[in-house]
Amino acid sequence: MGYQWDFYFIWGYYNLFIEGVFISLGFCVVTIAIGLIIGLFCGLSLLSRHRLLSFPVRSYVEVFRCTPLLVQIIWIYYALPVIININIPAYLAGGMALTCYISSFYAEIFRGGVISIERGQWDAARALGMTYPQLMKRIILPQAIKRMVPPFMNQSVIQLKNTSLLSILAVGDILYQGSVITSATYRPLEVYTIVAIIYFVILYPLTILAQRLEARVATKE
């Protein structure tokens, strides 16, 4: 192949990439934080014996787990405003979709961690006379959270990669900046290689960190 690779020109656009990194990380951190709170609430509701509570939450979780995130982003940006007759800015629509998506996965991680605790632990806590909130806080959650760490880290790593889907709404994330640079330079091969490297450089240390954390948790068990 006679293609001449040339990465040098990209230095001229480094500020765009930096902006993209901040925007992607910003979306990632904020949607994870809000998603965690919603996920916690949803996870608790899924565990509830009251079907009035668990059924709507189960529906919410399944809708967002079982449809593609890209479709959710497009739907919230284009279709939802038609229904509720309010314009939703791109960053908000994208943020909402990312938040709902990850919260539905967190809800399942949370529920799974809680139900993985042996029945004997529930029995022992109840036999001591603990109320449900007491036994959750003192006995079940401290043990369950350890088991939730690996899937939680895994899902959060995926979330940063998923912010790339926001580029469809021209939000200014890493991938969108790449497409801007491509249309200016007509050098997609180099640009998307760099885009991939940027994601990798951010996420690889995080996965190492996650492994360390897992190992520490495992030795304490």
**Interface residues toward another protein, by CB under 8 A:** 118, 120-121, 123-132, 134, 138-139, 142-143, 221
- Which one, 48 or 183, has the nearer CB to another protein? 48
In single-letter form, the type of residue at position 13 comes to: Y
Alpha carbon distance 163, 171 (integer Å): 10
- Which one, 84 or 220, has the nearer CB to another protein? 220
Q: How far is the CB of 128 from another protein (least distance, A)?
A: 4
3-state secondary structure of 67: coil
- Which one, 87 or 219, has the nearer CB to another protein? 219
Q: How far is the CB of 26 from another protein (least distance, A)?
A: 35
The DSSP annotation for 55-107 comes to HHHHHHHHHHHSS-HHHHHHIIIIIHHHHH-----HHHHHHHHHHHHHHHHHH
- Which one, 4 or 219, has the nearer CB to another protein? 219
Alpha carbon distance 74, 79 (integer Å): 8
